[in-house]
Structure 1
Amino acid sequence: MSPSPSSSVRSAKQALGKRLREIRKDSGKTARAVAAAAGWHESKSSRLENGKTPPSDEDIRIWTRICDAEDQAADLIATARGIDGMYVEWRRLESGGLKRVQESVLPLFQRTLWFRFYQSWVVPGLLQTEDYTRAVLNTVVSVRDTVDDAEEAVAARMERQRVLHAGGRRFAFLIEEWVLRTVIGDAETMVTQLGHLIGMTATPAVSLGVIPMGVVRGNAWPTESFAMYDEAQVSVELVSAGLTVTQPREIADYGKAFAELASIAAYGAAARKLITTAIDTCQ
């Protein structure tokens, strides 16, 4: 099973707190002395060092000044801001519109050579047709009450799919069979989308696996949808937020989960048969 979605954020906060503790100990000061010099309640030092309270930029500047480590302030502030960006609510992320969200991942896609996607909700974005994407994003606009720039966002996602044919990259997609049977948009949209999936199985750089309903799961339990970019980053889709995982140990956990899920998936002719059966249920 994949790790808890909140564990990456928690681990990162604890690691930052540990760095603050080490800086304080190197200065020879007690946590109580730091709090007194900063004008804080003494419990705040403990909360900061244990990762219970995220430090503000000013907290870090004060801490490093008191502990004679001001040269480390900039790096610590950057680390703290990075943690803040690991768990981002969709409403906050999408506040500037869906087009900007689609465009924001382009640098990540351009530098990644090995893509792994597991989807238990919808067809992966790189494999979506224009109409399917439109139905998905229009639903996002409606449910999350975000800026309605769905048409611009659809165009941006279609443009992003060019990475599939850029060369020098590998793509592995795993989709739960029930995703194929979940009607997004309308029946016509789904039939076209599923036909597109069949066509994508012939793309040399693409591996498409479908996890059949009723298969013995073993250790390959269904989980939240996630995407792996090389061994550098995992993006996890939660109901209310997006989570970015960068800790190597947790990236390895997701890699193991992906391999377990891949081991029970159907490929090639078997996968196409599952897709074709799903098409028949839509017609």
Structure 2
Amino acid sequence: MATSSSSSVQAARDAIAKRLREIRLDAGLSGREISGLCGWHPAKTTRLEKSQAAPSDADIRAWCAACGAEDQISDLIAASRNADSMYIEWRQLQRGGLRRLQESRVPLYERTSLFRVYSSQVVPGFLQTPEYAAALLAAIAEFHGTPDDVAEAVEARMARSDVIRSGRHRFVLLLEESVLRYQIGQPDVMAGQLGALLSAMALPAVSLGIVPFSAPARPQWALEGFTMFDDQRVHVELLGAQVTVTAPGEVDLYVRAHARLLDMAVHGDRARRLILAALNALG
């Protein structure tokens, strides 16, 4: 599990850089020659070919024109834009407000049959109470400086979370025990959220597991929270951005990681005891 969560993004950018170099070599041009034809410093050519800088649409057009490979322009631009869309900063995702971000996910949620979630910090949105969601989203809005539409965002999140009760989807949710202990909002908010987790365990479409502090044979790697949408797509949440993973080999890493964590988790009465212990600790 040494692979970075953003390795799919880097792999996509590396593939574009490799293709640019191949186009140059096929044209019989040196790095200095194509730099002159494109009108930029040779150092820029080096950065583009080593995937140290992402090419703009204009860069790709100039490169292909210099190499007589205009037929490659549209495919390369499409590949470059796709790579950019895989890593999107939260400030870009949230610039229209948190409510719009919640609503934008509805089509993806509707067409997903199996959700697999791992959370190491907060209760997944599917299971959040309105009070817990309000406290969490308010903190996010304040930290990122996004428009203050928390009340509307909470309403949208609750509406989106109805998929968990629709009967058309299955959910395999894994929480680190630390999620039960990180206090979001006031103690009464956290108590309500822990009580909601106990209730959610009775939902027929939900499998809720807790990875205890004492879990044996824990792998020697830390893992950020992620949500898997069937076997097609993974959203990985970083501090500054969301990474979207779609490459089959990369998705498979998250499938295997989730399965490993599932083996470490406790369910049923053992999970309830951990939730109750966290609830009692609130006093």
What TM-score do you get using the length of structure 2 for normalisation? 0.93
Aligned-residue CA RMSD in angstroms? 1.8
Quote the residue 2:267 is aligned against. 267
- Measure, in 2, the Cα distance between the counterparts of 1:82 and 1:145: 27
Deviation at 1:102, TM superposition (A): 1.1
5 Å-filtered alignment, 1:65-76, equals 65-76=65-76
Rounded to whole Å, the distance in 1 between the matches of 2:65 and 2:86 is: 27
The corresponding residue for 2:140 is 140
Unaligned runs of 5+ in 2: none
1:170 is matched with: 170
Map 1:227-266; keep pairs closer than 5 Å: 227-266=227-266
Alignment-derived partner of residue 156 in structure 2: 156
Quote how far apart the aligned CAs of 1:233 are.
1.7
- Measured in 2, the distance between the counterparts of 1:230 and 1:23 equals 37
Shift of 1:62: 1.2
Aligned to 1:107: 107
**Identity between Structure 1 and Structure 2 (%):** 48
- Whole-Å separation in 1 of the counterparts to 2:235 and 2:113: 16
Native 8 Å contact 1:24 1:30 kept in 2: yes
Contact kept? 1:120, 1:222, Cα under 8 Å = no
**In the superposition, relative to structure 1, how do residues 261 and 275 fare at CA in structure 2: closer, same or farther (>3 Å)?**
same
- For residues 89 and 76 of structure 1, the distance between their equivalents in structure 2, rounded to whole angstroms, comes to 23
Match for 1:225: what amino acid? G
Instruction: Quote the offset at 1:118 in angstroms.
Output: 0.5
Cα deviation digits, residues 189-223 of structure 1 (max 9, x gap): 11211111111112122111001112224327542
Give, as a single letter, the amino acid of the residue that structure 1 aligns with 2:92: R
Give the Cα–Cα distance (whole angstroms) in 1 for the partners of residues 30 and 230 of structure 2: 42
Pairwise CA distance, 1:228 = 1.2
Tell me by how many angstroms 1:262 deviates: 1.0
For this pair of structures, how many residues does the alignment match? 283
Cα deviation code 1:160-216 (max 9, x no counterpart): 112223334221110011111222111211121111111111212211100111222
Q: Could you tell me how far 1:47 is from its partner in structure 2?
A: 2.1
Distance in 1 (alpha carbons) for counterparts of 2:163 and 2:88:
25
Given that 1:91 and 1:146 are in contact with CA atoms closer than 8 Å, whether structure 2 keeps it comes out as yes
Q: For 1:184, give the aligned amino acid.
A: I
1:134 is displaced (CA, Å) by: 0.6
Q: Is the 8 A contact 1:164 1:205 kept in 2?
A: yes
Moved more, 163-172 or 199-208: 163-172
Q: Report if the CA contact (8 A) 1:120-1:176 is conserved.
A: yes
* Structure 1: segments with no counterpart, 5+ residues: none
Match of 1:45 in 2: 45
Rounded Cα–Cα distance in structure 2 between residues aligned with 1:25 and 1:37: 14
Secondary structure of the 2:122 match is: coil
